[in-house]
Structure 1
């Protein structure tokens, strides 16, 4: 499939559907149609409106949408500043001029797994009240010229190293999902190369440090597909429409097809209900459906080398799990981490990075004293809930803030009330339990949204299904 024609064909299909939606909306909205009242015209207009919006979102990067921050009865403007700019990703800072600078400095490492960093919008907002927040903002590979070179797991790791050096040692890193193992490698790299630049703490949330620690559909598929099959079925070249023309990528729209296919009936029902709501005048610009799908449908291409090296080195060869990861031919020893406090957060019902996969990081930290290790298993939480849902807001966020305070240079100066307070039942647990996969419904936005932060190999189901159909 490594041809521009196949990439351009997908874009042609997307563009055609967007045009059909716009045409149907225009016809159904024409004043002339109102002369002969007919319910079918309202349904045509509604179908067109939903279809046009859905297909247009697939090639748009969502806005962060964080314009103001309220505190003590005052509204402060939020300025999103670029601290470090690189070809494949930037380091952003959510500056809030006019308010007292927070003692906690947090680097939030966003996943590069098909969706933009804006997937962590709610996480950012929840941390802004108590922290100075920095976020890794990865770029869409289709927009990066081939002259910028390659970008694989080693380059990703070195980007994180540069970002941590820029922020300095008073930083607390929070990594979510896919970047967890590479964040661990980046800190280990700094531990040996530049110890003074290490962050004070790492919070690793639901990531595949050892994919074999607790099997899921993701790990099962990763063991069965060969790299040759994966490259032939999933990799394409960017077409002539974008700046990255000719670059080999794993297309975001191919990945979106795999996301949709996992819960096809649920998504179909969600769109049918939305069309009916638009036709009856019950829908709105920022209703629950639009809020979720505006983000869910916005996908980005990943470089082929990053996608394939993640599958090969993280999932198949388990280089992080076996402490055999290398960067530019240099071994990265996770045991060299001796001063950075590490906290593991997992969800009991996480069917993407199952309990135990992230917890494996603690066994690799042989040089770190037990007093600097912590873990938490959130009861009943799925993948999305542990970093952006109710479980995050009510239980996990306060625990993370307490962990940051306990490992800050001046604990007394940074100690601020963590709200809401923990209930007595919200104690930390480290027991690994079997994965429970809950039914996914659009009415329950957290389980459905968990699929938007999938680790990379999950997206290979679409090529597999397509091959079966052929």
Structure 2
């Protein structure tokens, strides 16, 4: 009951602030006050509008907002979001474009389960839709999943990816962004050994903690300092009475959002104070840069307690992926079993979450993969977000990823005694 009370306390705090914002907006916008212009009332109106919107967004799953797409025929085609595989903790969805010829590349985009919805990759999806059939993992909010559905930890996450890859077939190119990179590598190795016909053609890992100790950051330092007992006591709560997942142990999205904001509290405070002034001066709009960013950033979801705790313990503390000691459903996964799937890593020079060195460690784990199947890239000046969204992704990284996919689209031919060694098709900066 204590954990449920804590969960509902956070929700009560959020709800109260949303109500305060709405009340301030309603009071200060009273028409009679227009006869007596007062900067204080104008500021209160702006503060109420920004506050109400901000706290309201925290419990709303953002819409994908991808409704039409202009195809080479010059026509706008509708984009249908279709569920290909439906599971209790997450779905595999496809952005289908009726009337367009099937794109030459089939891409599975593995979204993070790290507090935000898969819509965080909206701009990434839009950029890939141009010449790819795009599929993405759409993880569910743990508070909406009944306890009767059971647990969901890093092994379950990996097996979900295995099922999704099997469903899509061997002509798939997988792109994993941030948190799922180590588990996606493990899922690929799992298939390589147990179901090689279902392996994808290529695997691109973007800013993921394959080896967290390769380049320590504030995130990895925290994981090393805190004990599992401390994390369980301070970070885990049970879903309150108003949700379908009542009683489920979770790492609440609101608690994680508090941690996110505290890491850069001064910058966020400045952003909100400036937005209040823009609203006050009539310079803000419903879809301006501030609202586009924070409508997504503030929309958070709960993670199951077992997924959060097993990620910290097994990926960060024990470094099971980095040591090639990861076990899934009783089977020890060996990254050395990857022999035909091309692997590329992408890192940002100024990434303060998964610093350069953490992700490229994946290439050293693939001991049986020939060098021509390995590639790496470090994007100069890019931070964590910039390596999968924004100008760095659009102008530099995306073209490299597309070239990598094209270079590894054909099935790997079987080796013969007379076969000549191939020249490396991909530049491997880590070699």
Please state if 1:180 is matched with 2:187.
no
Provide the C-alpha distance between the structure 1 equivalents of 2:385 and 2:323, rounded to a whole number of angstroms.
27
TM-score, reference length from structure 2: 0.94
Provide the C-alpha distance between the structure 1 equivalents of 2:248 and 2:47, rounded to a whole number of angstroms.
35
Compute the displacement of 1:428 (Å): 5.7
Compute the displacement of 1:44 (Å): 1.3
- Stretches of structure 1 that go unaligned for 5 or more consecutive residues are 412-426, 433-470
Provide the C-alpha distance between the structure 2 equivalents of 1:380 and 1:40, rounded to a whole number of angstroms.
42
TM-score, reference length from structure 1: 0.87
Provide the C-alpha distance between the structure 1 equivalents of 2:387 and 2:37, rounded to a whole number of angstroms.
49
Provide the C-alpha distance between the structure 2 equivalents of 1:410 and 1:98, rounded to a whole number of angstroms.
28
Write the mapping of 1:211-230 to structure 2, written as runs, cut at 5 A: 211-230=212-231
Q: Deviations over 1:25-67 (max 9, x none)?
A: 1112221222322222211111111110000000010000001
Quote the residue 2:126 is aligned against. Answer: 125
Provide the C-alpha distance between the structure 2 equivalents of 1:240 and 1:290, rounded to a whole number of angstroms.
31
Figure out how many residues of one structure are paired with residues of the other and give that number: 417
Task: Give the ranges of 4+ consecutive aligned residues of structure 1 lying more than 6 Å apart after TM superposition.
Answer: none
Write the mapping of 1:33-48 to structure 2, written as runs, cut at 5 A: 33-48=33-48
Would the aligned equivalents of 2:113 and 2:179 in 1 still touch at CA under 8 Å?
yes
Quote the residue 1:203 is aligned against. Answer: 204
Quote the residue 1:12 is aligned against. Answer: 12
Alignment RMSD: 1.5
Quote the residue 1:274 is aligned against. Answer: 275
Secondary structure of 2:346's match? strand
- Stretches of structure 2 that go unaligned for 5 or more consecutive residues are 413-425
Please state if 1:430 is matched with 2:429.
yes
Quote the residue 1:31 is aligned against. Answer: 31
Secondary structure of 2:25's match? helix
Quote the residue 1:458 is aligned against. Answer: none
Write the mapping of 1:2-401 to structure 2, written as runs, cut at 5 A: 3-72=3-72, 73-401=74-402
Provide the C-alpha distance between the structure 2 equivalents of 1:37 and 1:428, rounded to a whole number of angstroms.
64
Provide the C-alpha distance between the structure 2 equivalents of 1:38 and 1:385, rounded to a whole number of angstroms.
42
Secondary structure of 2:50's match? helix
Secondary structure of 1:366's match? coil
Secondary structure of 1:155's match? helix
Would the aligned equivalents of 1:2 and 1:232 in 2 still touch at CA under 8 Å?
no
Q: Deviations over 1:304-350 (max 9, x none)?
A: 00000000000000000011100111111111111111111111111
Would the aligned equivalents of 2:360 and 2:430 in 1 still touch at CA under 8 Å?
no
Secondary structure of 1:312's match? helix
- Which deviates the most, 253-262 or 1-10? 1-10
Would the aligned equivalents of 1:110 and 1:136 in 2 still touch at CA under 8 Å?
yes
Compute the displacement of 1:169 (Å): 0.4
Secondary structure of 2:31's match? coil
Provide the C-alpha distance between the structure 1 equivalents of 2:343 and 2:2, rounded to a whole number of angstroms.
41
Provide the C-alpha distance between the structure 2 equivalents of 1:19 and 1:170, rounded to a whole number of angstroms.
51
Provide the C-alpha distance between the structure 2 equivalents of 1:71 and 1:360, rounded to a whole number of angstroms.
39
Provide the C-alpha distance between the structure 1 equivalents of 2:4 and 2:122, rounded to a whole number of angstroms.
33
Provide the C-alpha distance between the structure 2 equivalents of 1:41 and 1:225, rounded to a whole number of angstroms.
46
Would the aligned equivalents of 2:375 and 2:428 in 1 still touch at CA under 8 Å?
no
Provide the C-alpha distance between the structure 2 equivalents of 1:207 and 1:187, rounded to a whole number of angstroms.
15
Provide the C-alpha distance between the structure 2 equivalents of 1:96 and 1:194, rounded to a whole number of angstroms.
31
